[in-house]
């Protein structure tokens, strides 16, 4: 296992699979494959009407992560589409199969074949002739896996419930925005993606602890990325004396050093996550207002006590 530090924002580990033959083990979601193999005869293209309509031919389909890889045994979703758009402008879906290698029964004609492996997908035009040999459709997914996690400071563990990741395409679209690929990804979840570079937005808590990173996904490999947040978790308390009991019914406002409000809450001891930096805590209880300046240090979770005096 190789660990690389990139721009001090995250550590990226590439786990090269020992062989492509057992590569899929790294992308397992432990789900039993579900197979559905309806025939396509009643959906045959108009060009196959007449004498050819009675002809039915079986086509075998398989997909691999890389050119040299063995066919995937599970995790695939196959879809067969009619080549002519319907009244809604979409290609009619004729049949599907979930699992690994699949076989479909076709009448001669043209079709569109789409196979998905998680968020990775390939589309191919398929022409079924009335006679002659029928080759197995071997699809190269050119796909890999991405698994994300994060730490606070150098190596402080962050609870999974406090983390979320959004995955975008690295390149901008024609509108200047990056296309969202997957949102609200939980830590240690394997996301199957086409080979390429992706822009990752990691959110720790719900205030201002956000890190952005670009990560490369390689075909046939599982990429594990550990994002390093410069933030910490804080518990706010209004107390009569240091270490005293928190006073209930307190309204809180957190301001940056520039005076911007980043968080507001009500409670005896609310817990928030803040990015590293200087802040001011303002506590309002009944008709009185109290405040304290404090500094957030990455990875150092602590209590912020505001005294009544």
pLDDT digits (tens, 9 = 90+) for 137-171: 999 999 999 999 999 999 899 999 999 999 999 98
| Residue 101 CA, distance from chain mean position | 25
Q: Which residue has the higher pLDDT, 261 or 131?
A: 261
Q: Note if the pTM is more than 0.95.
A: no
Domains of the chain: 2-21+143-229 (2.60.40), 31-140 (2.60.40.10), 231-307 (2.60.40.10)
DSSP annotation string for 85-112: --TTSSPPEEEEEEESSEEEEE-SEEEE
DSSP annotation string for 221-290: -EEEEEEEE-EEEEEEEEESSTT-PPPSS-EEEEEETTS-EEEEEESSS-EEEEESEEEEEEEEETTEEE
CA distances from 21 to 16, 122, 175 (A): 13, 20, 41
Q: Which residues contact 235 (CB under 8 A, 6 or more apart)?
A: 269, 270, 271, 302, 303, 304
pLDDT above 50: residue 18:
no
Query: Residue 175's pLDDT band (boundaries 50, 70, 90)?
Result: confident
Residues 3-28, mean pLDDT to the nearest whole number: 38
Query: Residue 42's pLDDT band (boundaries 50, 70, 90)?
Result: very low
Query: Residue 292's pLDDT band (boundaries 50, 70, 90)?
Result: very high
Distance (Å, rounded) from C-alpha 168 to C-alpha 200? Answer: 6
pLDDT above 80: residue 33:
no
Specify the DSSP class assigned to residue 219: T
Of all residues in the chain, the percent with pLDDT exceeding 70 is 83
């Amino acid at each position: 296992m190789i660990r690389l530090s990139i721009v001090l924002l995250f550590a990226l580990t590439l786990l090269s699979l020992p062989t492509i033959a057992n590569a899929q083990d790294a992308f397992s979601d432990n789900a039993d494959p579900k197979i559905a193999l309806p025939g396509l005869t009643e959906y045959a293209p108009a060009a196959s009407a007449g004498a050819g309509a009675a002809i039915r031919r079986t086509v075998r389909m398989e997909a691999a992560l890389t050119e040299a890889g063995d066919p995937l045994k599970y995790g695939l979703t196959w879809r067969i589409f009619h080549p002519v758009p319907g009244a809604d402008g979409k290609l009619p879906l004729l049949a599907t199969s979930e699992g690994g290698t699949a076989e479909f029964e076709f009448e001669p004609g043209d079709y569109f074949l789409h196979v998905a492996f998680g968020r990775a997908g390939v589309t191919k035009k398929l022409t079924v002739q009335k006679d002659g040999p029928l080759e197995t459709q071997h699809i190269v997914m050119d796909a890999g896996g991405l698994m994300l996690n994060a730490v606070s400071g150098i190596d402080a563990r962050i609870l999974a419930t406090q983390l979320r990741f959004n995955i975008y395409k690295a390149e901008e679209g024609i509108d200047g925005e990056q296309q969202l690929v997957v949102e609200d990804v939980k830590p240690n979840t394997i996301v199957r993606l086409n080979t390429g570079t992706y822009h990752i937005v990691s959110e720790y808590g719900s205030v201002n602890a956000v890190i952005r990173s670009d990560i490369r996904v390689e075909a046939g490999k599982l990429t594990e990325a550990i994002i390093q947040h410069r933030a910490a978790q804080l518990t706010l308390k209004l107390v009569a004396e240091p270490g005293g009991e928190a006073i209930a019914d307190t309204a809180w406002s957190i301001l940056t050093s520039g005076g911007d409000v980043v968080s507001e809450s009500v409670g005896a001891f609310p817990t928030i996550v803040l990015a590293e930096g200087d802040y001011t805590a303002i506590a309002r209880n009944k008709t009185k207002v109290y405040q304290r300046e404090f500094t957030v240090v990455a990875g150092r979770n602590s209590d912020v006590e505001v005294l009544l005096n």
